[in-house]
Structure 1
Amino acid sequence: MASASGHAQGGERVPAWLATWTASPQPVWGPDFLFPTNVPAVLAGQTVRQVARVSLGGRRLRLVLSNAYGKQPVVVGRGSVALAGTHGSLVPGSLRAVTYGGKSSAVIAPGAPLLSDPIDLPLPALARVTVSLYLPQATPAATFHWDGRATAWIAAGDQTGAARLDPAAQATTARLLLSGIEVEQDVERDGKPASARALPQRSMPGPPTTRPGAASPMTAGVGAAADLGMNGIDVQGFRTAGVVAAIGDSITDGAAATLDADTRWPDFLAEALAPRGMAVINAGISGARLLSDGMGVNALARLDRDVLSQPGVSAVVTLLGINDISWPGTAFEPDRAARPSLQALIAGYEQLIARAHARGVRVIGATLPPFEGALPGTPLADYYQPEKDALRQALNAWIRGSRAFDAVADVDAALRDPAHPARLAPRFDSGDHLHPGDAGNRKMAEVILPAVLDRGTLHGDQADFFSAAALSVASHENSGSERPKWP
């Protein structure tokens, strides 16, 4: 326990809140945009129920709600958290009330987050939790996360205590208000993790190794959501090694991952790292760019909020740039001259790396996967052009060879078709030739894992840390969603 002064003695444990799940906030766009928001323009007297799978568990958790892009205060009424059942139901006996400063309601200021009180609900690692939030007043939908790859429901009235929602509830895959979940972990004064607990998982990688003199995420000190309003979840639990953030675009956001199956590449990575006491948070936004705003603000503008300020973050995996390269000249951005130069992309990455290093955060660079023939039969059919691919390959060459990153994960080499290197291999392709399917996401996690564990740069054919028997996924899988996967 901590001493009365608040300082831990050597070898003693002190509590620390860590991010275990996030959904990066985006501004809600208008009706003239290519994609519908799939959320009501205004919510009033309605309950929003959302399901999230945490990476690490713990004794307690707390929620992070977001009004990041709102122009007026948001009144949040009663809320609840429970272990998730099926189809939006709750596990009996697990329902807990959400409070803010001891009160059942709160106001989220414009542009601000809101942190709940700690909630006494023991969570195992990889647990699915259901968060229900009641909005008693008319609330314009201004902040959301467009593609949560999980079904959420909007129901009439206060149904925060309902074991099952009214069947008339509107379903959406957006996330509202909820942007984060945090858990409280016990850590030693020096940040060293306790022994990993046995956890259910789809895969179990081998033991980590660290090159001499390198700062390993296994010994990094702790502290060094359309998810509609829900940005994050914090959990209080056991000693941990830190948090790995993934910042990227729709490939990281999981645009083609099977709905409600937790098969985005950060989900697979979370399963591999949870037994090591490491959390994984997803800061991907579909349509995101490194340098320019898109379906969310640019990565450099949101880096602090979505990654560096997240409690416990010790490493970040970057997979950014394909939308910077390919949006110009499409319906998203008709001006071809808006395409950045290689030098501009490198400068953006160098700034991202410098800011992360200034906070003691390791940076793993992932190469951009191939995308020849991307998005056929859509308004973005010209997303791929040979000159765009040449820029992608030049950026990948810099990522591989610059030594700017602490480690490199060669996703391009892992996913490309050996017979047609500019294309995704058929077994990894979701079918739109841009986004990996579930098998491709699993392969990405395999290649990223050793880089996170500080084994240096590995190519796709050099690592197979996931048991083939543990997960069976078919290529060209149906995403389970009617939402277009264009960006």
Structure 2
Amino acid sequence: MAAIVTAAVLAVPSGTAGAAGPAGAGDWSAAWATGLHHPVPGNDWDGPNWSVDGFTGESVRQVVRVSTGGSQLRVRLSNRYGTQPLRLTGATVGSSGPGAAVRPGTLRPLTFRHRPSVTVPVGAELVSDPVRFGVAALDRLTVTFYFADPTGPATFHQGGLTTTYRATGDRRSEPGADAFGGDTSHSWYYLAGVDVSGPPPRGAGRGGSDGRDAARDTVVAFGDSLTDGYGSTPGADNRYPDQLAERLVAGGHRLGVVNVGINGNKLLADSPCYGERGVTRFHRDALGQPGVRAVVVLIGTNDIGGGGFPDFGCGASPVVTAAEVVDGHRALVRAAHRQGIQVVGLTIPPWKGAFGYDTPANEAVRDRVNDSLRAGVGYDALVDLDRLLADPADSDALRPEFDAGDRLHLNDAGAELIATEVARALR
């Protein structure tokens, strides 16, 4: 039975290796990643996006914050949900300046098999050649793609809580922001991940470094909007995985943290808007990350709370039983353990007052799922968010100081609490 933690106890040995093996000088660890899904139109709550139309004769500039450093990096490019081969004319990476600007002198070309252009088949993901580029933990990088030819609908991540920039023409080598002045989105396009290898620059970063190639591994945060960060402050990197990365860096731990949560994602059902079911995408999005050592799982809210919702264009929402959800969690645990990967579970937080989710039947299923998780389904540790986030005056409701405003999602303070407890679980 897993340890149930409100002050967590899981120890992750420094020699533990995930599927990709230990991250030494010639190995790679994911420093940033996102969960990708089908293109969908924008909406009133997520805002507009460019995924349905894609890009033609345009440059797309995207900013990410890496969670761990290295002396070289590579970029992963995905056409998993495209409808035609994706022709990338060229790409660059550089250190981020303000807005769409890149720090002068830092732009580097990205190549694929030593060529500036590449075609990514439908359903495929390609990785760039390594680039000598010193980057420290919590640095921001700017990746610019140029698509001369029509891309068709774009594989993307809708809920980026970020600012992505678009400009006409080939702007990949321009450090300035002027060309990217007015056309922005809050999503990521085609960008699946940034990996690092080798020692970070001497003295670099908020965690410090003596230049040695110390052990490095990746923690993957897997789940739905509670992981993706819906409800946290846009543009502030205050999702719980972001705050977890900051805590690990401050504590001197060379553990990368990547966030593959997807808003609306379900454990047991596919959605054309909210991604493949968790039990399917877990193998690719979580266990397939380079250097993965541990996975943190928070999922099931939408299966239970959204069960029975009508299909409004994003797929059916079947009614689920507690046993089905628990079996889904067991499947994730078994898959992780088969690859020697530690897995931390989180109970499903309260949602009393959340529109559509708060029904007596749904609450009963949530309670039974959480009771089963506490009793033990194989997690190496369990952080009991249900109790940690509950209002002392009503255990079925979120504490007001953690509520983003809809009784379901968490604000920055709620994300900070999760980060604190998960950081303890990973020590």
- The TM-score bracket by the shorter chain reads 0.7 to 0.9
Distance 2:410 2:77 in 1: 30
Q: Which residue of 2 aligns with 1:265?
A: 240
1:312-327 mapped onto 2 (5 Å cutoff): 312-327=291-306
1:412 aligned onto 2:386: yes
1:43-442 mapped onto 2 (5 Å cutoff): 43-165=55-177, 166-185=179-198, 199-200=205-206, 238-274=213-249, 275-294=252-271, 295-332=274-311, 338-374=318-354, 381-402=355-376, 404-442=378-416
Decide whether aligned partners of structure 1 residues 131 and 43 sit closer, same or farther in structure 2, where only a CA change above 3 A counts: same
1:284 maps to a residue whose letter is G
CA contact (8 A) 1:28 1:143 kept: yes
* 1:13, distance to aligned residue in structure 2 (A): 6.0
Structure 1 residue runs of 5 or longer lacking an equivalent are 1-11, 187-193, 205-235, 375-380, 454-487
1:356 maps to a residue whose letter is A
CA contact (8 A) 1:58 1:123 kept: yes
Decide whether aligned partners of structure 1 residues 199 and 397 sit closer, same or farther in structure 2, where only a CA change above 3 A counts: farther
Decide whether aligned partners of structure 1 residues 337 and 154 sit closer, same or farther in structure 2, where only a CA change above 3 A counts: closer
Distance 1:129 1:107 in 2: 23
Q: Which residue of 2 aligns with 1:232?
A: none
1:329 maps to a residue whose letter is G
1:25 aligned onto 2:36: yes
Distance 1:237 1:170 in 2: 42
* 1:169, distance to aligned residue in structure 2 (A): 3.9
Q: Which residue of 2 aligns with 1:15?
A: 26
CA contact (8 A) 2:48 2:185 kept: no
* 1:328, distance to aligned residue in structure 2 (A): 2.2
CA contact (8 A) 1:411 1:447 kept: no
* 1:290, distance to aligned residue in structure 2 (A): 0.5
Distance 1:62 1:353 in 2: 29
Decide whether aligned partners of structure 1 residues 13 and 319 sit closer, same or farther in structure 2, where only a CA change above 3 A counts: closer
Distance 2:278 2:203 in 1: 34
Distance 2:145 2:24 in 1: 34
* 1:311, distance to aligned residue in structure 2 (A): 1.0
Identify the range of structure 1 (171-180 vs 417-426) with the bigger mean alpha-carbon deviation.
417-426
* 1:141, distance to aligned residue in structure 2 (A): 2.1
Larger RCO (alpha carbons 8 Å, 6+ apart): 2
Give a deviation string over 1:204-255, Cα, whole Å, max 9, x none: 9xxxxxxxxxxxxxxxxxxxxxxxxxxxxxxx99322411101100010001
* 1:436, distance to aligned residue in structure 2 (A): 0.5
CA contact (8 A) 2:322 2:368 kept: yes
Decide whether aligned partners of structure 1 residues 139 and 249 sit closer, same or farther in structure 2, where only a CA change above 3 A counts: same
Percentage of identical aligned residues = 35
Decide whether aligned partners of structure 1 residues 237 and 427 sit closer, same or farther in structure 2, where only a CA change above 3 A counts: farther
Give the TM-score of the pair, scaled to structure 2.
0.87
| RMSD after superposition | 2.6
* 1:385, distance to aligned residue in structure 2 (A): 1.3
Distance 1:127 1:265 in 2: 18
Give a deviation string over 1:120-157, Cα, whole Å, max 9, x none: 11101110001000011011123110111111011111
**Stretches of 4+ aligned residues off by more than 6 angstroms:** 31-36, 333-337
Give a deviation string over 1:287-340, Cα, whole Å, max 9, x none: 101011131000111112101111110110000000000112334579998211
Distance 1:73 1:336 in 2: 29
Distance 1:415 1:237 in 2: 40
* 1:15, distance to aligned residue in structure 2 (A): 2.1
